[in-house]
């Protein structure tokens, strides 16, 4: 992607500490990070470098101690919890290492879950048909057309992750945040998932942030951001690229 | 929307939650049944109490009473106005009742009440409680020629529980008199034969009855003519002397009555004084209509003297309140006034000790009572409502009911703690799912709502099942009782104790609503804490939870 594309996600001097009793753990110590629209960025770093925390902050699951996050030019840190809930539901899609599907719901219902969260009962009755169609189309696209009524425990890891991706996409988010999406999968399956993400990025122009510690996975992205000790590694992107390569 | 779906899914996959439903159900069912039965008992009791006591009782503090009831009634009418629809004077004195069973004299302490047979049934349900259909219409102190109910007219059962009343009345009286005469003649013959051979040996052949008669005749001031068993009927009914000046005052004086065709003054004893119920539920009678009894009571003078007279039982009074049924005995007020010397010989005005007042339906008892209290000085007259009269009893029943309700509600509260524990477990178990929902944009309110809705659902289902169970038990309690009795062979509800043939049960919709709302409320309240805990979970930590 080109450098001239407007930044869809803009992180400035982000800091986050975790306190447990007397000790304070500085996880993020002033992270600056930009994501251009349609860009596919990998964030790599060792365990404890703060990459997951950064993803959680961008996904509005947690609140930063200081610094700012802008999504499409709007500050999203420091919002009321209701606004954050709303944004999580509409603007951001998240995929996790351990899939995080709801075990009581089947594949289709899991994909529909964000839309059910969004709509009240009456509204849901009105949009239900449309939502179902969208969810079914997504699952079809990921090769799960025949497994709509299967519960997560009846699905393989790769299938579960594809359901999770479909769930993240059904809300048409501005950005997809993926936290080690291939971490629990074997190489072939993980490759398939990665391929799916790349395809989404290429075909749909979806902006993706992928957190991983696997250099081979990170290499598939347009750009690699290296986190170390709570900061973006000063080494420029090309260097990071070299390192990874 | 997800709340409904998840509530439903959790309910379907967490059968353990149904355990707490069962305790809610049982608690609600128990409360409904107990309240229905207690309300039934309370209603029966109040009806009985109110049935025998009129709405208002206006009474004198003295057993001697007050003079001129007509004037008092006019004054009461003036004070209370249109609220009054009926009044009747009564005289009530403590007394002793004597009657013979198998030659043994039985003495019982009673409350002797003189009533005006024409008006008494107008102020209370008195008439309903009598055993002869005609007396229920209009009481007569004359002995009836049979036709007494062998079936309890106040019960729904058609079983004959009082076979002894079949021949009661004049037939019984005639039979008894004839049998006594046969015995007397036989004894007489035996004694004559015995006296010829061995005069001293008369004891064994002599009936106790006769011995007592002899003793009574020697000790009583009464002329033996008024005794229960004149020696021979054919020698009775001597020619009256028309010129006798005392004849008008005591027409029966000096005459001998024929017990087979004449009766003494009628008397209506409470059925509990004269009968008992055996294990089979049949009433056995010690005395029947047609038998004679003796009553001893104090005169109205100062100091009172005890006087006795003989009465003929003409009916039984059964209010089903054992306190009244084994205590109250009714006689005609005029006779009692005369016997007690309550009629002023100069003015001819009679005294009574109380006036029973019936108010129109819907009248405020307490306000009428207070108006009367203003008019009549409290040191001479006591005015009370039927509730005042039985205040402690009614209050005790009310308190018993509230205490029972509190205790039973604790059962549901226990169910609430069960829900609390199970919900906490579910919240812990579902922590990750809660994190997932939060990551999908569900708010704290929405997450809390799942658990509150879940609690509400459990409460509604539990209370609904309890409602159905409770109502079906309350409405069929007597069939259930019969079933239990059949299975266990034990008598669960002994009619000889309660004087009811069936367990009364009244379902008050208001009480039921209150119970349901309470149970659902407890279910929701006990899911509040788990719901709060779920709502406050931090999404990142929840997602990490395993």
pLDDT in tens, A222-241: 999 999 888 888 654 554 44
A79 and A65 share a domain? yes
Q: Provide the shortest C-alpha distance from residue B24 to chain A (in Å).
A: 26
A76 and A180 share a domain? yes
Nearest CA in chain B to A112: B2
Average pLDDT, chain A: 88
Tell me which chain B residues have a C-beta less than 8 angstroms from the C-beta of A85: 438, 441-443
Domain boundary among A112, A145, A172: A172
Of B13, B432, B444, the CB nearest to A81: B444
Contact A100 B10 (CB under 8 A): no
A80 and A131 share a domain? no
pLDDT at B227 exceeding the cut of 70: no
CA A4 vs CA A34, B468, B484: distances in Å: 12, 71, 88
Decide if B138 contacts B355 (C-beta within 8 A): no
Task: Of A4-8, A93-97, B55-59, give the lowest mean pLDDT range.
Answer: A4-8
pLDDT at B223 exceeding the cut of 50: no
Q: Cis peptide before B303, with omega less than 30 degrees from 0?
A: yes
pLDDT at B153 exceeding the cut of 90: no
What does the pLDDT read at residue B77? 85
Mean pLDDT within A121-144: 92
Nearest CA in chain A to B545: A100
A10 and A31 share a domain? yes
Tell me which chain A residues have a C-beta less than 8 angstroms from the C-beta of B4: 121
Decide if B300 contacts B65 (C-beta within 8 A): yes
Contact A102 B436 (CB under 8 A): yes
Q: Taking Cα atoms as reference points, which of A130, A122, A160, A124 lies closest to residue A144?
A: A160
Contact A116 B5 (CB under 8 A): yes
Nearest CA in chain B to A102: B433
What does the pLDDT read at residue A79? 86
Task: Of A88-97, A166-175, A205-214, B406-415, give the lowest mean pLDDT range.
Answer: B406-415
pLDDT at B240 exceeding the cut of 50: no
Mean pLDDT within A168-192: 92
Task: Return the CA Rg of chain B.
Answer: 34
Distance, CA of A105 to CA of A124 (rounded, Å): 17
What does the pLDDT read at residue A1? 44
User: CB of B13 within 8 Å of any CB in chain A?
Assistant: yes
What does the pLDDT read at residue B251? 55
What does the pLDDT read at residue A152? 93
pLDDT at B511 exceeding the cut of 60: yes
What does the pLDDT read at residue B373? 87
Distance, CA of A92 to CA of B441 (rounded, Å): 9
Strands (E), B343-451: 351-352, 354-359, 381-385
Contact B440 A59 (CB under 8 A): no
Neighbours of B378 (CB within 10 A): 10
User: Could you report the per-residue pLDDT of B323-337, keeping only the tens digit for each?
Assistant: 788 889 999 988 888
Tell me which chain B residues have a C-beta less than 8 angstroms from the C-beta of A120: 1
Mean pLDDT within B535-544: 89
Give the total number of structural domains in chain A: 2
Decide if B340 contacts B298 (C-beta within 8 A): yes
- Which residue(s) pair with A11 in the sheet? A33, A69
Tell me which chain A residues have a C-beta less than 8 angstroms from the C-beta of B436: 100-102
What does the pLDDT read at residue B470? 93
pLDDT at B225 exceeding the cut of 50: no
Token readout for B173 is 């009286």
Banded model confidence at residue B500, pLDDT cuts 50, 70, 90: low
pLDDT at B229 exceeding the cut of 70: no
Contact B440 A103 (CB under 8 A): no
Banded model confidence at residue B253, pLDDT cuts 50, 70, 90: low
Tell me which chain B residues have a C-beta less than 8 angstroms from the C-beta of A116: 1-2, 5
Banded model confidence at residue A132, pLDDT cuts 50, 70, 90: very high
Higher pLDDT, B371 or A94: A94
A9 and A75 share a domain? yes
Q: Provide the shortest C-alpha distance from residue B538 to chain A (in Å).
A: 8
Q: Residue B40 belongs to what H/E stretch?
A: helix B16-52
User: Could you report the per-residue pLDDT of B436-460, keeping only the tens digit for each?
Assistant: 989 988 888 888 988 888 888 889 9
Mean pLDDT within A56-83: 89
Banded model confidence at residue B127, pLDDT cuts 50, 70, 90: confident
Token readout for B330 is 């009714």
Token readout for B466 is 């309890």
Contact B9 A118 (CB under 8 A): no
Q: Provide the shortest C-alpha distance from residue A208 to chain B (in Å).
A: 17
CATH number at residue A23: 3.40.50.300
Nearest CA in chain A to B6: A104
DSSP class of residue B341? T
Nearest CA in chain B to A120: B1
Task: Of A152-166, B208-222, B297-311, B409-423, give the lowest mean pLDDT range.
Answer: B208-222
- Count the helix, strand and coil residues of chain B and give each as a percent rounded to the nearest 5: 50, 15, 30
pLDDT at A174 exceeding the cut of 60: yes
Match 């070299």 to its residue by tokens. Answer: A242
A2 and A71 share a domain? yes
User: CB of B540 within 8 Å of any CB in chain A?
Assistant: yes
Count of alpha carbons within 13 Å of B469, Cβ hemisphere only? 18
What does the pLDDT read at residue B214? 60
pLDDT at A201 exceeding the cut of 60: yes
Mean pLDDT within B144-157: 79
A87 and A187 share a domain? yes
pTM for the whole structure: 0.68
Q: How would you label A100-121 residue by residue, b for 16+ Cβ within 10 Å and e otherwise?
A: bbbebbbbbbbbbbbbbbbbee
- Which residue(s) pair with B91 in the sheet? B114
Calculate helix-pair angle for B69-80, B365-375, nearest 10 degrees.
120
What does the pLDDT read at residue B545? 79
Contact A117 B440 (CB under 8 A): yes
Distance, CA of A132 to CA of B486 (rounded, Å): 60
pLDDT at B295 exceeding the cut of 90: yes
A245 and A132 share a domain? no
Nearest CA in chain B to A105: B9
Average pLDDT, chain B: 81
Decide if A35 contacts A178 (C-beta within 8 A): no
A39 and A59 share a domain? yes
Nearest CA in chain B to A113: B2
What does the pLDDT read at residue A55? 92
Higher pLDDT, B346 or B500: B346
Distance, CA of B381 to CA of B59 (rounded, Å): 6
Please report, rounded to a whole number, the percentage of residues in chain B having pLDDT higher than 90: 14
Mean pLDDT within B367-385: 86
Q: How would you label A180-200 residue by residue, b for 16+ Cβ within 10 Å and e otherwise?
A: bbbbbbeeebbbbbbebbbeb
Task: Of B45-54, B319-328, B504-513, give the lowest mean pLDDT range.
Answer: B45-54
What secondary structure, in 3-state letters, does B436-474 show? HHHHCCCCHHHHHHHHHHHHHHHHHHHHHHHHHHHHHHH
Contact A104 B432 (CB under 8 A): no
Nearest CA in chain B to A169: B440
Distance, CA of B145 to CA of B172 (rounded, Å): 9
Distance, CA of B15 to CA of B422 (rounded, Å): 11
- What is the sign, positive or negative, of the torsion defined by CA atoms of B148, B150, B154, B156? negative
Domain boundary among A154, A172, A190: A172
Mean pLDDT within B40-46: 83
Q: How would you label B529-538 residue by residue, b for 16+ Cβ within 10 Å and e otherwise?
A: ebbebbbebe
Contact B436 A59 (CB under 8 A): no
What does the pLDDT read at residue B224? 42
Q: Provide the shortest C-alpha distance from residue B429 to chain A (in Å).
A: 12
Distance, CA of B381 to CA of B378 (rounded, Å): 5
A46 and A84 share a domain? yes
Residues 6+ apart with CB under 8 A from A36: A1, A2, A3, A5, A6, A7, A8, A207
User: CB of B426 within 8 Å of any CB in chain A?
Assistant: no
What does the pLDDT read at residue B488? 86
User: CB of B176 within 8 Å of any CB in chain A?
Assistant: no
A130: domain range? 95-172
Domain residues of chain B, as ranges?
A: 2-48+393-544, 54-169+265-389
Mean pLDDT within A40-45: 92
Q: Provide the shortest C-alpha distance from residue A122 to chain B (in Å).
A: 8
Of A56, A102, A119, the CB nearest to B1: A119
A70 and A60 share a domain? yes
CA B371 vs CA A206, B315, B367, B368, B384: distances in Å: 90, 37, 6, 5, 11
What does the pLDDT read at residue B398? 85
A143 and A221 share a domain? no
Count of alpha carbons within 13 Å of B351, Cβ hemisphere only? 22
pLDDT at B297 exceeding the cut of 70: yes
Domain boundary among A146, A172, A198: A172
């Amino acid at each position: 992607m080109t450098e001239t594309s407007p930044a869809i996600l803009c992180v400035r001097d982000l800091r986050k500490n975790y306190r447990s009793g007397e000790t304070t753990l500085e996880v993020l110590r002033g992270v600056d990070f930009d994501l251009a629209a349609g860009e596919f960025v990998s964030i790599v770093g060792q365990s404890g470098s703060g990459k997951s925390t950064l993803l959680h902050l961008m996904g509005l699951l947690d609140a930063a101690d200081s610094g700012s996050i802008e999504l499409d030019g709007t500050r999203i840190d420091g919002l009321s919890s209701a606004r954050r809930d709303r944004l999580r539901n509409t603007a951001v899609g998240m995929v996790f290492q351990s899939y995080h599907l709801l075990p009581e719901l089947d594949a289709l219902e899991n994909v529909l879950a964000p839309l059910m969260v969004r709509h009240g009962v009456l509204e849901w009755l009105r949009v239900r048909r449309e939502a179902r169609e969208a969810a079914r189309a997504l699952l079809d696209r990921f090769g799960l057309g025949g497994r709509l009524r299967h519960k997560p425990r009846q699905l393989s890891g790769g299938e579960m992750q594809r359901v999770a991706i479909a769930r993240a996409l059904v809300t048409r988010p501005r950005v997809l945040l993926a936290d080690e999406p291939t971490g629990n999968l074997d190489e072939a399956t993980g490759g398939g998932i990665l391929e799916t993400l790349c395809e989404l990025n290429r075909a749909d122009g979806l902006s993706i942030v992928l957190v991983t510690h696997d250099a081979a996975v990170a290499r598939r992205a347009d750009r690699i951001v290296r986190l170390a000790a709570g900061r973006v590694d000063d080494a420029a992107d090309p260097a990071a690229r070299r390192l990874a390569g | 929307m997800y709340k409904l779906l998840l509530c439903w899914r959790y309910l379907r996959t967490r059968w353990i939650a149904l355990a707490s439903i069962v305790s809610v159900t049982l608690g609600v069912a128990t409360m409904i049944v107990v309240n229905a039965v207690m309300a039934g008992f309370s209603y029966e009791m109040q009806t009985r109490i109110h049935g025998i006591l009129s709405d208002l009782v206006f009474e004198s503090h003295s057993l001697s009473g007050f003079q001129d009831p007509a004037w008092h009634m006019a004054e009461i009418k003036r004070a209370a106005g249109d609220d009054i629809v009926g009044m009747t004077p009564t005289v009530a004195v403590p007394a002793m009742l004597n009657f013979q069973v198998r030659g043994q004299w039985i003495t019982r302490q009673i409350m002797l009440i003189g009533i005006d047979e024409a008006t008494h049934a107008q102020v209370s349900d008195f008439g309903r409680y009598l055993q002869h259909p005609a007396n229920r219409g209009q009481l007569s102190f004359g002995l009836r020629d049979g036709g007494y109910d062998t079936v309890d007219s106040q019960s729904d059962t058609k079983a004959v529980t009082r076979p002894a009343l079949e021949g009661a009345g004049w037939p019984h009286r005639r039979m008894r008199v004839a049998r006594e005469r046969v015995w007397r003649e036989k004894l007489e013959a035996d004694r004559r034969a015995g006296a010829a051979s061995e005069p001293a040996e008369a004891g064994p052949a002599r009936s106790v009855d006769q011995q007592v008669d002899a003793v009574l005749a020697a000790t009583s001031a009464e002329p033996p003519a008024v005794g229960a068993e004149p020696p021979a009927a054919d020698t009775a009914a001597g020619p009256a002397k028309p010129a006798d000046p005392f004849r008008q005052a005591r027409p029966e004086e000096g005459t001998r009555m024929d017990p087979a065709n004449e009766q003494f003054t009628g008397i209506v004893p409470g059925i509990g004084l004269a009968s008992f119920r055996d294990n089979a539920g049949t009433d056995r009678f010690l005395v029947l209509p047609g038998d004679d009894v003796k009553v001893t009571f104090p005169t109205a003078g100062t100091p009172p003297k005890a006087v006795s007279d003989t009465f003929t039982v003409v009916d039984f009074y059964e209010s089903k309140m054992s306190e009244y049924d084994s205590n109250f005995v009714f006689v005609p007020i005029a006779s009692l006034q005369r016997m007690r010397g309550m009629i002023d010989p100069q003015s001819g005005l009679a005294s009574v000790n109380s006036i029973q007042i019936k108010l129109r339906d819907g009248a405020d008892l307490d306000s009428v009572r207070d108006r009367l209290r203003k008019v009549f000085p409290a040191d001479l007259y006591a005015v009370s409502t039927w509730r005042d009269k039985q205040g402690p009893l009614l209050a005790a029943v009310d308190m018993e009911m509230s205490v029972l309700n509190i205790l039973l509600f604790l059962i549901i509260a226990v169910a609430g703690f069960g829900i609390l524990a199970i919900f906490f477990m579910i919240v812990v178990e579902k922590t990750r799912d809660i994190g997932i929902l939060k990551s999908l944009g569900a708010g704290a309110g929405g997450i809390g709502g799942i658990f509150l809705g879940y609690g509400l659902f459990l409460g509604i289902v539990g209370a609904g099942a309890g409602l159905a169970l409770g109502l079906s038990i309350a409405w069929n309690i007597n069939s259930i009782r019969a079933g239990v009795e059949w299975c266990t062979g034990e008598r669960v509800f002994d009619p000889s104790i309660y004087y009811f043939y069936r367990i009364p049960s009244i379902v008050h919709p208001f009480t039921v609503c209150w119970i349901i709302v309470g149970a659902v409320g407890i279910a929701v309240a006990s899911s509040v804490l788990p719901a709060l805990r779920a709502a406050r979970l931090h999404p990142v930590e929840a997602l990490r939870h395993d």
